Structure 1
Amino acid sequence: MWRTEDGVRLQSRTGHDVTALWMDLAVAAMRLPPGVILDGEAVVYVADADGRARISFAAAQSRALSRPRRARELADQHPATYVAFDVLTHPAAGFPDLRPRPYSERRQVLLDVLADVGPPIEPVWSTTDRSEALLWHTALEGTGMEIVAKPLRSAYAAGRIWSKVQHADTVDVAVVGFTGTARHPKALAVRLPDGRVALSQRLTTALASVVGPRLVPQSGRAFTKAGDSYTPATGDVVVEVVAGTTRHTVVTVVRLR
């Protein structure tokens, strides 16, 4: 989230300008001081059958894959929240580049810059109390929220510098291939924690649309231990899968990481 001198620009992890798809967040971000750059994630909360608000990856993907007019309609139905993980710059406070500073300092600057902004732009919850973190890990299971651990002394760097504290039912795995076409993958070949390569169940249209552009097909064919054929691929693609099914090599992809 870039607050420029005269506006706001929202950029996806792949570098694409997605401001038009998240205009509700862009409007709210005008309250940020010019020059501030935040790192975070746009999330959408949807009520479940019991009326409890849960993070909906499907709703967020629908917004991300829509056209601007449709995105405005979706925003009216389910407004987005921007969960700010980090702050990279805050020139007005004397921080033209916060990236080399330890996370503990960046965290305080993040809280300061968002103090007068308010929802829907919010700082991610954070604690240094292990007991509190474990309580969150238990209480938030099933809501779509995740617990990650980040070193307090770490500088900001590209790529993942934190560790996800997994629930028992999911695991992150590398994508090593696919079936179908790279443009429209039907299933993914993933390398499981025990080293096995297995094919996932058929991808949803939304998942195929976000994973496909990240796949780089390689020549030839490859085979899982079970004999399933797939097209090998590179691209450092990581997906989250339901781990409780992997012992029987039935892999359900939850989302792109």
Structure 2
Amino acid sequence: MDWPVSVALAQAVPTLPVGSNLHYEPKFDGHRLVMWRTEETVRLQTRSGRDVTRQWLDLALAGMQLPASLVLDGEGVVYVDGRVDFGAAQSRSNSSPARARLLAEAHPAAYAVFDVLQHPMHGDVRGWAWVRRRALLEQVLEEYSMGPPIQAVPTTTDVALARVWYDALRVQGIEGLVVKGGATTYRGGSRQWMKVRHAETVDARVVGHTGPASRPRAVAVQLPDGRIALSQALKAPLAAWVAHLLEGASPGRQAWTGDGERYLKVDVDAVVEVLSGTTRHSVVTVTRAK
């Protein structure tokens, strides 16, 4: 398996899906991380393929207990006052290594693992059914006596229990549920999973920005209905994320939204969540990066 790996994604659905062989997991509000245990070290990759090992060094050190050639998929999570704090996770991932060390001292990270992509004995297991991969994940975590900060995400096939999780875990910062088919393989880049969230948001694809690439002021997004709109001014963590995203992109080309707003069009693979109530307007509100 080559670095960086393309990760599987989830599509937002309005209600909790019910059906045979569906598995429900709490959706941790953190930062997507792929953990690579190499022969000599541990590397951590974001959804976009950026290396953030130095920003999450506490998790990398914990991962050294795992066997070489293991690749895991999960969520880097930071708890503040006993609650999952998405802003803290974003700050960690976008910090300098020195700043990240200070943040880790104040709030150590946890790694909520939900999949295994490669195993030292079985090789690339992305073609296995989810239930088989899940059993392998539990086996390897138990075999190597893994515990906090690296733990498997809870899962259930009980719809009633899933609904309890959806309602009861919200106060702990759990943003909803992810639903996976038990027979599905792992297909990077595809929205093969489903997610139900508490927030009234929709996914929008990033297609451009305003301001310099090193300090973007706003992003241009393509909404689910195909319209292009500009976001409101980005807060510092989101602006830093967009700047990292644009580092490897070609220079933007001048373009205009349907309302005549000018932006720089870029070809990047990124999605943000925007408040659904703002999508009727020319300027939308971005709540978080995906």
Residues 176 and 196 in structure 2, CA contact (< 8 A), matched pair in contact too: yes
Q: How many angstroms apart in 2 are the aligned matches of 1:218 and 1:13?
A: 22
- 8 Å CA contact retained: 2:256, 2:263: yes
2:234 and 2:102 map into 1 onto residues whose CA distance is 26
Structure-2 residue corresponding to 1:23: 57
Amino acid at match of 1:86: D
1:148 aligned to 166, 175, 178, which one?
Answer: 178
Aligned residue number for residue 121 of structure 1: 150
Task: Find the counterpart in structure 2 of residue 208 from structure 1.
Answer: 239
Unaligned runs of 5+ residues in structure 1 are 48-52
The answer to whether the 8 A contact 1:56-1:144 is kept is: no
- Is residue 2:165 matched to residue 1:136? yes
Q: 1:55–1:145: 8 Å Cα contact kept in structure 2?
A: no
Confirm or deny that 1:46 pairs with 2:76. no
**Would you tell me which structure has more strand in proportion to its own residues?**
2
**Aligned counterpart for 1:240 among listed residues 235, 254, 273:** 273
CA distance, structure 2, for counterparts of residue 18 and residue 133 of structure 1? 32
Checking the alignment, whether the CA contact within 8 Å between 2:254 and 2:262 is kept in structure 1 is no
Change (3 A) 1:66 1:220: closer
Q: How does 1:152-171 map to 2 (within 5 A)?
A: 152-160=182-190, 161-171=192-202
Aligned to 2:11: none
State the Cα deviation string for residues 37-78 of structure 1 (Å, max 9, x = none): 11112111112xxxxx33222212222222323222111100
State whether residues 168 and 244 of structure 1, in contact with CA within 8 Å, keep that contact through their aligned partners in structure 2: no
User: CA-to-partner distance for each residue in 1:200-219, whole Å, 9 max, x for gaps?
Assistant: 11101211111234344542
SS in structure 2 at match of 1:241: strand
Query: Which structure dedicates a bigger proportion of its chain to helix?
Result: 1
Which of 151-160 and 243-252 deviates more?
Answer: 243-252
1: CA distance between counterparts of 2:210 and 2:174? 28
1:186 aligned residue: 217
SS in 2 for 1:109: helix
Classify 1:171/1:208 alpha carbon distance in 2 versus 1 (closer, same or farther; 3 Å): same
1:222-254 Cα deviation digits (max 9, x unpaired): 1233x4332233213210112233344552212
Please tell me the root mean square deviation across aligned C-alpha atoms, in Å: 2.2
Equivalent residue letter for 1:5? E
TM-score normalized by the length of structure 2: 0.77
- Percent sequence identity is 51
Give the partner amino acid of 1:203. Answer: L
* Greater shift in the superposed pair: 204-213 or 129-138: 129-138
Distance (Å, rounded) in 2 between the aligned partners of 1:144 and 1:184: 31
Partners of 2:93 and 2:199 in 1: CA distance: 29
Unaligned runs of 5+ in 2: 1-34
Q: Structure 1-normalised TM-score? A: 0.86
Residue of structure 1 in register with 2:127 after alignment: 100
Letter in 1 for 2:240: S
Aligned residues: 249
Residues 80-124 of structure 1: CA distance to partner in whole angstroms, max 9, x if unpaired? Answer: 011112112222xx3222111111100011111122200100112
Distance change in 2, residues 1:167/1:247 (3 Å): farther
What residue identity is the alignment partner of 2:94?
L
The match for 2:98 among 69, 72, 76 is: 69
Q: Deviations over 1:176-226 (max 9, x none)?
A: 32221233221122233334332211101211111234344542321233x
Partners of 2:238 and 2:44 in 1: CA distance: 21
